[in-house]
Amino acid sequence: MMRPWLAGFFDGEGSVGLYKMSGCHRGYEMRAQITQLCSPIVDRLFNQIHLEYGGNLYLRGDTPSTRRWRPTWHYTVTSMRAHFFLQTIRPWLLLKATQADHAMHAVILQQEGGHEAEIEAIALCLRAMKRS
């Protein structure tokens, strides 16, 4: 897959964030996501992204309770797979470059341990960037 094209697609249709984990796991999980209405081209594209980067791929809006919505592909990749995904497209990101940099930095800090306050600040910053 052409990474410059994927970066542009992610800039327009994707999102990246840090999400508080609950339960026995503590800390944050980085998540990169892309959502797009279904079409034959999009079907092939999302399956190729899933094959190359792993993560979760599911179709939404194809059940009796959601038939009023058009079917939509949702691709999500988390933690170190998300780090790898963003790292491979980072040289071509424009709109989400800063968000990707902050999120990837937070993953590294979390692996090192002892940086909870800094990671929390990065998560808040990413949420604010999504709203602006």
DSSP 9-45: HHHHHEEEEEEE--TT--SEEEEEEEEEE--HHHHHH
Collapse the DSSP code of 70 into the 3-class scheme (helix H, G, I; strand E, B; otherwise coil) and give the result: coil
- The pLDDT score that the predictor gives to residue 25 is 64
Q: What is the mean pLDDT of the chain?
A: 88
**Confidence bin at 66 (pLDDT 50/70/90):** low
d(CA 86, CA 47): 18
pLDDT number for residue 62:
61
Q: How confident is the model at residue 82, as a pLDDT?
A: 95
The answer to whether residue 65 scores a pLDDT higher than 60 is no
H helices present in the chain, as ranges: 3-13, 40-53, 79-89, 97-112, 116-131
* Cα 19 → chain centroid: 11
Other Cβ atoms less than 10 A from the Cβ of 58: the count is 12
Q: What pLDDT is stored for residue 129 in this prediction? A: 85
Within 10 angstroms of residue 55's Cβ, the number of other Cβ atoms is 19
Number of other residues whose CB lies within 10 A of the CB of residue 43: 14
Residue-wise pLDDT tens digits, 90-107 = 999 999 999 999 999 998
Question: What confidence tens digit (pLDDT) does each residue in 43-56 have?
Answer: 999 999 999 999 99
Amino acid at 109: L
- Reported pTM: 0.86
Q: Which residue has the higher pLDDT, 4 or 1?
A: 4
Closest CA to 108 of 122, 92, 124: 122
Note whether 75 and 56 are within 8 A (CB).
yes
